[in-house]
Chains A and B, each alone.
Chain A
Amino acid sequence: MLGAVRQPGDALAPVVFYLIVGMLFPLALGSDPRLLAQIGPGAIWIAALLAVLLSLHKLFRSDLDNGYLDQLLLIPCPLFLLIGARLLAHWLQTGLPMLLVTPLLAESFGLDYALLPVLLAALALGTPVLLLLGAINEALTLTSRGGALLALLVLPLYVPTLVFGSGAVYAVHFGESPAGHLSLLAALALVTLLFAPWAVATALRISID
């Protein structure tokens, strides 16, 4: 967290990336307002997903290089608690700012204002899931070869989150209740919250010992 305050440019990168990817969709697909309102929720979700993916490399890499991670493993305190704190801090400096700029992106796609609360709720539930699943795989691939490996491992696991997340917004778009999608997303979030810090801790021990 302190590092983020000291180097704001570094911390803002995922948010800026999120906005830029969002901007690329209209540029690639044309500026027809009806089309944009139609693809908006999905495009925003894809942008959020890629931004989270991009932010993962900052989770443990520098800690590994300067030896802090080895120290972390030695602290006589359950590792998953430390990891949980680390992930919470990471979400506060990447996920939360992304939520804050989402209204801007929604407005640029001309989304109906009624969609905005659902979109924000879905992103608030979904981005932690994306981050936690990503963290497990980042920890697993921390000391392995190959740069594109992380994306190969993570993206298939992101499918349910993406489906339910954008599904919630589209449900409102088509005049249905988003409750089902949001509950499934919440269930996904609870399960990952419960089990991911432990999995990250295990993965770190595998990668480092």
Chain B
Amino acid sequence: MRRLNLTSRIVVVLALVGSSIAGAQWSVSSAVAAPKAKAAANGKAAAKKKTDDAPQADAKPKTGGGIPLASARGGNLQALPSSAVRDEDIVAFIDKQIRAAWDAAELKPSIHATDNEWCRRVYLDVLGRVPTVVEMKEFLVHSPEGKKSALVNRLLDSDEYGDEYARNWTTIWTNLLIGRPPARPNRRDPTSRAGMQQFLRRSFLENKPYDRMVYDMISATGTTAPGSPEYNGATNFLINKLQENAIEATAKTAKFFLGVQVQCTQCHNHPFNEWKQEQFWSLNAFFRQTHADVKREGRDIEYATLRNSDFRGEGSTPSDAEIYFELRNGTLQVAYPMFLDGTRLPTSGYVKDVDRRTELARMVIKSDYLGREIANRMWGHFLGYGFTKPVDDFGPHNQPSHPELLEQLGRELAAHGHDLKRLIRWITLSEAYGLSSRMTADNKKDDPALGEKPKFSHFYLRQMQAEQLYESLLVIANEHRKPGTYEEKEGKKADVLRQFTLTFGNADGEDATTFNGTIPQALMMMNGQMIENTVSTDKGSFLRRLANSTKENEAVEILFLSALGRKPTSGDQAVAHSLIDGRSSNPVAGYQDLLWALLNSNEFIFIH
């Protein structure tokens, strides 16, 4: 295999910073193979992957002094017995690990969340919306045995929810990979949001293995927009990250898929980060055959093409295509494609000799980092905090809260075909995910907002995302199954939500949202069009139909179930009836006031 043909040439290092450290980078016989050895010790790690492009497990590339995983250092991992392939066993392993951390920190877990709370939570996290009244009632009347796993299975596997599952995860991943819809559309951005969404949506609909999804995006070539000549929606991840020698492509690929933040090391060796400047540029070298061409229609971009072409190298010797980067003292150093673990590629810049990006995609999906990162990201999605914060920054400076659990989850995911639904099942059925968000005297101190590492001894309250709010409001007004194409619906959603996007004025394309619990959000909830539509009393509206078909007590119950996923308490009923009685001449207006108040409450906007 060509890619293993490790070049024996010694790269001339024009200048060495910190020579002892840099020197270690080049010793091929380095003993730092610990992560690999550990992985092999686990029975299932050797399980053959079905991904065609994935290199065989026995063809082990030589490593040249990569960086050991933070959590592998001195860790004494207990591998699961090899028979542990059932979901129940993995859930039990999660619970055991989480409990061990409670014991160590002398914490006692909160009671379990009520069925209502858990059901609402799982709909919001898996489908991105609150459950309907009918769905909630169905769950409540289900016999206790196996009801949780039955619901999770239904949300994940039944045709009924396939589209909604795909829509939710498409939204989450689109926002991550290419950012939220910008406040003002950017004419110069070649990205096709529709193309990105279509690629993701198809992937989630068919439950494409995660490693395959990542491979497709890193190695993608073709055109961006649906309907364009060589359409490949996966190109949209990289198409707008190639400016200035693909710095952003480098940083975002490492961060999103490997949990490695190398962007700080672009200019210098970072004092708090073991990643070195050379590693950034060695990773960057993988992207240097990659180009984006833009096809315009008038002033607007019609589509863009992501393609590979021969890289001449900055020294203009394509057969040995090197790049240079600048040390802080101004001297230049050479870099060739080298993965974070030290694996090198042949140095030719000719695509026919070596397709650098495809090789990178292979290395990424083979890396232990891949499973660990997605496990952490998904855990963070469901539990509110990952094992590290942020979820995509591993490194010696950022020790995970549950290193063994994280490591094992990543490994299990890889061993189970990178099946994201499987991972979701493990997490949602874990004890930690099922706990109440009510704290007790025995676990009050377990609060990551206070600067403690999360122990997950109670559920951490967190706010809905704007997209979850949007979809939930459609459900509440019973408009979520209205006709319309996916693209139309997404376009409408983006138009409504772009008011919240803040784009930072730098080249990294970072963004933030003002849907963050501050005043702009509260103003939107109190006065904005989205809520106005939901509480509409026009002919044919949800509230009008409710008023026409239901008695007051029942209507109040339905409103509470719709918005909060629970029945009103007697205190709530008093509040509700006094509001409604105040409008005795016009009860539908009373329902409107009640729904408005429910939607503006903390209990609604928080996932709890």
Do A and B interact with each other, yes or no? no
A residues adjacent to B (C-beta < 8 A): none
